[in-house]
């Protein structure tokens, strides 16, 4: 699936894979999907899962950018500075806005911390506004005993940003991965059920991205008219 070589650390700008089981339909360009890996651990199951999903998306003709919040930490959000968006004085924040503005879909991935999602992911989401996620599909993933607590809370956040959380979610446990990270520092997903769910997740996200892009274009045309 996806890139022939392992992804680099930090932000991973994905290679464009071949078209998989879903056609991109009337979209003039492949959907660009921003995958935010919300873990500060090294090594990290959440980061490994994020990269696995990015490769699955690329295998379906999408382009996936992985924002690794451990390798590319963001400063604490200051509301007055957030308004500067791509002109923000911190380059990592400016890059976040540029990637969000170019995204037709998102993936939010987090370990389960205190029955919820991580602080580093919360900080990243605090930078985003309705403009960034309105009517865009969002896939949700969590790691920690296959608990759904992190993704359940993220669904509320996505709704608050007017995003559209897709039905399929991916929740993993340590035993779903190889016992030790590989040479690239990532844990390989081994569980067949989780791999099947990742395939369904990727199919669904690309499908939603294609159709919601058409809907946004139709709504924009109606407003312009």
**Which residue is associated with the tokens 């991965």?**
177
Query: What's the N-to-C CA distance of the chain in angstroms?
Result: 42
Q: How confident is the model at residue 85 (pLDDT cuts 50, 70, 90)?
A: confident
Q: How confident is the model at residue 92 (pLDDT cuts 50, 70, 90)?
A: very high
Q: How many CA atoms lie less than 13 Å away from 69 in the CB half-sphere?
A: 25
Please check whether residue 56 is in contact with residue 150, taking contact to mean a CB–CB distance below 8 angstroms.
no
Domains with residue ranges and CATH for the chain? 12-18+27-224 (3.40.50.360)
In the structure encoding, which two tokens stand for residue 163, read together?
């995003």
**Average pLDDT score over residue span 80-103:** 89
Higher pLDDT, 209 or 80: 209
Summarize pLDDT for 140-185 with one digit per residue, the tens. Answer: 999 999 999 999 999 999 999 999 999 999 999 999 999 999 999 9
In this prediction, what percent of the chain has a pLDDT beyond 70?
88
């Amino acid at each position: 699936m996806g890139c022939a070589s392992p992804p680099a650390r930090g932000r991973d700008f994905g290679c464009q894979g071949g078209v998989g089981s879903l056609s991109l339909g009337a979209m003039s360009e492949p959907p660009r999907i921003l995958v935010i890996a919300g873990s500060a651990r090294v090594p990290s199951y959440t980061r490994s899962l994020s990269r696995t999903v990015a490769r699955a998306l690329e295998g379906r003709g999408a382009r996936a950018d992985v924002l690794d919040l451990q390798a590319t930490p963001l400063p604490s959000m200051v509301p007055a500075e957030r308004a500067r968006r791509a002109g923000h004085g911190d380059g990592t924040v400016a890059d976040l806005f540029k990637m969000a503005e170019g995204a037709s879909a998102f993936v939010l991935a987090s370990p389960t911390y205190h029955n919820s999602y991580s602080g580093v992911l919360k900080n990243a989401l605090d930078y985003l506004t309705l403009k960034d996620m309105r009517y865009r599909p969002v896939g949700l993933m969590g790691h920690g005993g296959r608990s759904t607590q992190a993704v359940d809370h993220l669904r509320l956040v996505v709704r608050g940003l007017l995003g559209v959380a897709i039905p399929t979610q991916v929740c993993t446990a340590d035993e779903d991965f190889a016992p030790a990270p590989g040479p690239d520092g990532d844990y390989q997903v081994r569980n067949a059920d989780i791999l099947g769910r990742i395939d369904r997740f990727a199919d669904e996200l690309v499908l939603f991205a294609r159709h919601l892009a058409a809907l946004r274009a139709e709504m924009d045309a109606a407003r312009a008219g």
